[in-house]
Structure 1
Amino acid sequence: MEVVIATIVAVCMALIAIMIRLKAAAKPASLKKILLPPLFMSTGFLMFTQPMFHISLSNALEAFIVGALFSIVLIKTSRFEVRDEKIYLKRSRAFPFILLGLLVFRIILKLVLGQYIEWEALSGMFFILAFGMLLPWRLSMFIKFKRVEKTVIPPPTPVS
């Protein structure tokens, strides 16, 4: 029963993320919108102050690396475009499918690993996996945004 409820919650969260992302594409991007999500998410590391969430360093590194590998797909599909001298995140038709694919993979992984790893440790590992996916993606978006920003805002001309 717990697995069914967790799966339903995960699907709802994925659908909300897709809707938020589609709405966000209608507004200009900013460095704040790009960099704040990893900062806010990093507060989740406080869970590891509780002994029940402790995991080994090797498990944490594995989870982060798997997340970073998944971020490659998000990095490849995230692009910026200039409209009316403002920078927008270009909508990717693949994004909803990528999110849903990641969700399905996560559910399968949770079902398999849940038989061998306690739910607290597994929760911590999935958090690190998500952070490992978000951080490289957002850093890549930051770099891409700065490149596009240079084309929109010309460098100041030296005064002589």
Structure 2
Amino acid sequence: MDVISLIVAIGVAVVVAVSILDFIRGGKTRERMHVHEGQFSFEIFYTLLMIYLIVILGFGLIYFVLSMNHILLVEGGELREVSMFGSLIHSFYFSGVTLLTIGYGDITPIGIGRIIALIQALIGYVLPAAFVLKIVQNNQYNRERNDDML
């Protein structure tokens, strides 16, 4: 594997991991994630959407960078050579369907791509539950803080 590709893939993985960890720890969203009962919060929706986009783009870039050295994704069960732009599109598409646990099966990972796809699918599966849990925790924290102020 090319050293530059490996460094880029690791860099993208670090950015994705830091984004997810910042969300889990509360980061800058703690105060914004307060929701009154029965209300829809655009801030929460926006935060979740941005996290999903970061993960899709991040893993898509990882698939793309790794595919530059060898074929990582197989379309329709056949090894196909596609252009650089085609490979980028396939990488983002595969990243999206993997994260959203749709998994159509039209594009299949091979080699190290299988492990990366499993990690991404796990993130896609756990992220909504973590998000709901975070909202409940923040609401409980805000309620306790308001009770202490009284």
Same fold (TM over 0.5): no
The bucket for the TM-score relative to the shorter chain is 0.3 to 0.5
When the two structures are superposed, what TM-score results if normalisation uses the length of structure 2?
A: 0.39
